[in-house]
Amino acid sequence: MKKITDIKGTFRLHNGIEMPYFGLGVYLSDNDKEVIDAVQWALEEGYRHIDTASIYKNEEGVGTAILNSSVPRDEIFVVSKVWNADQGYESTLKAFEKSLQRLQLNYLDLYLIHWPVEGKYIETWKALEKLYKDGVIKAIGVSNFLEHHLENLMETSEIKPMVNQMEFHPYLVQQDLIDFCNKHHIQYEAWSPMMQGKIFELSILDSLSEKYNKTAAQIVLRWNLQKGVITIPKSSKKHRIIDNANLFDFELSKEDINYIDSLDKHHRLGPDPDNFNF
């Protein structure tokens, strides 16, 4: 396992691209001052990975913050996703162009299929492969794909996904899926790592917080990284953005990682990738 060193550290994707293992998620951040401030604070703090999506309706704000930042574009890893209603070959190509325009960028570092829409994600993936070959995306991947979705995709694709972004937190570990992704060199990534804020309501991490003198959020985010999982905690509050990044002066023991793994309840807070209707 690669050593977790600092906020700008990376994991290498199977195509050789270095992806920062820590980033900012902007889900539910308003497409105005809120998201612009959040991205700017994150970049000032040293974050180099920003994750958005067309359905978040804040790509313009993310793009404005990147444009106005003193951090060079090539040092920022920008991620967006094609929404379900836009899936299909031609419609994905158009959706990508619109995302790029909204972000005011001429390429994306990573583009993901947001959900495995049945009957559409194979064609959507073909569009991502074309965009990747055209050089306008540096890496391509998926989100919310279970093992059978990945197997189905890999049977028909030229290029296997570089990333799979999944709901991941102490109550939903899905170790079998992590193992499958690792075996196929697909980088695992967490969304909702802090259980939509519910992590703060749980007493299960109190002993670890005390032991390491860290918040429950910092314990969980460090657990993500030490498991080799990229993590993108969402916040629009400056102090949280700063606190969330305070992960690089401690290391969880193997026993404590196993303890957090053992909290798994197979409990989803978000939709089931096998049963969603949007």
What's the rounded Cα separation, in Å, for the pair 36 and 127? 30
What are the residue numbers of the active site?
Answer: 56
Contact criterion met (CB below 8 Å) for 5 and 31: no
In a domain? residue 243: yes
In a domain? residue 222: yes
Of 249, 190, 231, 252, give the one whose Cα is nearest residue 20. 231
In a domain? residue 194: yes
In a domain? residue 277: no
What's the rounded Cα separation, in Å, for the pair 5 and 211? 21
In degrees, to the nearest 5, what angle opens at C-alpha 150 toward C-alphas 149 and 153?
85
pLDDT score for 1: 62
In a domain? residue 271: no
Contact criterion met (CB below 8 Å) for 130 and 98: no
Count of domains forming the chain: 1
Over the stretch 97-132, which tens digit does the pLDDT of each residue have? 999 999 999 999 999 999 999 999 999 999 999 999
Over the stretch 20-60, which tens digit does the pLDDT of each residue have? 999 999 998 888 899 999 999 999 999 999 999 999 999 99
The tokens describing 48, both together, are 């180099």
pLDDT score for 109: 98
Contact criterion met (CB below 8 Å) for 96 and 66: no
Of 9, 11, 2, 41, give the one whose Cα is nearest residue 24. 41
What's the rounded Cα separation, in Å, for the pair 269 and 140? 26
Residues of the chain where predicted confidence (pLDDT) is lower than 50: none
pLDDT score for 3: 86
Supply the CATH number for residue 124's domain. Answer: 3.20.20.100
Q: Which residue has the tokens 């959706």?
A: 95
pLDDT score for 32: 84
In a domain? residue 200: yes
33: domain range? 11-261
